[in-house]
Amino acid sequence: MKHPIRSLLLAGFCSGFAVGAVAKTAEVGQPAPDFTLTDIAGTTHQLSAYRGKTVVLEWVNPECPIVQKHYNRSGNIPKLQKAAAADGVVWLSINSAAPGKQGDYDVTEVATWMQRVGAAPTAYFRDPAGTVGKLYGARNTPHLFVIDARGTLVYEGAIDSIRSADPADIARAENYVTATLAALKAGRPVSPSATPPYGCSVKY
């Protein structure tokens, strides 16, 4: 049964939820486009340097209610980040908000937010020009991409199967990222390999 009130709340929370297509070069089943970004600690990372490891790319906006659902209102994503790290997975959080747009936190604000919500990515990047976000066609926050050890993009889309702002739905939802990581670890095909992301629009 659908929940019209919940759907309306979700739409209201995430102004700009429906966005036009973003030009991209990332395609599931193809090599993940390489990029270089500097994290909030000043360390430069190149995606291709992580070849041999599974990598998760997570588009994030600390002010988006759907991001808040999975961070400070439930601790869901921080738990996933820690579990992934324990399995040797690299988790890269990317904020592609343009300067002055919602969620465009400076380095100090990001560090404070991460500490408050218990975030534990391998690295957090600011992408104010939106270069990497557009390269991957990131549309929403959160929008997740999983890259296997060979450097192939094997999943992109939503974090889970219930499109809502309610943390109570997390336990009932199928977590696509967890399922993808489990499939890769077990050597099984990833299914589904793509789903529609949900959340606030990336503030390019």
Domain spans in the chain, listed from the N-terminal domain onward? 30-201
Q: Give the C-alpha separation, 121 to 139, whole Å.
A: 20
Residue 119 burial (CB count, 10 A): 23
Provide the pLDDT confidence category of residue 86 given band limits of 50, 70 and 90. Answer: very high
Share of the chain above pLDDT 90, in %: 88
How high does pLDDT run on average in the chain? 91
Euclidean distance between the first and final Cα of the chain, in Å?
A: 34
List of residues 6+ apart from 52 with CB closer than 8 A: 149
Provide the pLDDT confidence category of residue 137 given band limits of 50, 70 and 90. Answer: very high
- Locus of tokens 């890269």: 92
CATH code for 30-201?
A: 3.40.30.10
Tens digits of per-residue pLDDT, 19-77?
Answer: 344 557 899 999 999 999 999 999 999 999 999 999 999 999 999 999 999 999 999 99
Angle at Cα 29 formed by Cα 28 and Cα 34, nearest 5°?
75
Average pLDDT in the 151-178 region?
98
Q: Give the C-alpha separation, 89 to 181, whole Å.
A: 9
